[in-house]
Amino acid sequence: MEALRTSCSELRDRALVEFLYSTGVRVSELVSLNVGDIEMGKQELIVYGKGSKERKTYLTDGAKFYLRRYLRTRCENEGITMQELQRRPLFATLDRPHGRLTVAGVQYMLRQLGKRAGVEGVHPHRFRRTIATDLLSRGMPIEQVKEFLGHEKLDTTMIYCTVKTESVQASHRKYA
């Protein structure tokens, strides 16, 4: 994550990386969001996942910080107010007329970012897996991670999560 963060040359890209990691959203959910879908004060948003299921997800302080900076810059660049920006796509292309970023556009941007950072296999879904693994390793119950990701079955969440050997060893010492 640190290599990707430091390799972001555009504010939009840093905001997008922080947003993907913070929220764990699918790329299809990401590209359908508008600015007005985010409740900055509460640092939360509702996304519509597979099967049009609705779930709440959250912004970290870092994601909120970079997202606000990115949105303020967009207002300046596009010559519009924050109120007008509310109805526009959350993440837009860098070139005029600043259209909605597509799934392919996000995938391409992340691949390029990965190359610059020297990180292999950078794709949107990797952020989803990473946040799931990090939440579990920090002690969040797997049932809550399941809800956070919007999974129907716990088995699906288990597939996402990589258990670190050190964690297993530490838990064994604690519980055995």
What's the CATH code of the domain at 102?
1.10.443.10
Q: Say which of 12, 14, 26, 74 is annotated catalytic.
A: 26
Q: Is 123 a catalytic residue?
A: no
- Kindly state the average pLDDT of the residues 128-147: 91
Q: Is 128 a catalytic residue?
A: yes
Q: Say which of 12, 14, 88, 151 is annotated catalytic.
A: 151
Q: Is 160 a catalytic residue?
A: yes
Q: Which domain holds residue 99?
A: 2-175
pLDDT per residue as tens digits for the range 69-124: 999 999 999 999 999 999 999 999 999 899 999 999 999 999 999 999 999 999 99
**Which of helix, strand or coil describes residue 44?**
strand
Q: What is this structure's pTM?
A: 0.90
**Torsion-angle region of residue 171: left (phi > 0), alpha (psi -120 to 50) or beta?**
alpha
Q: Say which of 21, 66, 70, 160 is annotated catalytic.
A: 160
Q: Is the pLDDT of residue 171 over 80?
A: no
DSSP state letters, 28-39: HHHHH-BGGGEE
Q: Say which of 12, 14, 64, 128 is annotated catalytic.
A: 128
pLDDT of amino acid 29: 96
Structurally, the chain folds into a number of domains equal to 1
Return d(Cα 14, Cα 4) in angstroms, integer: 8
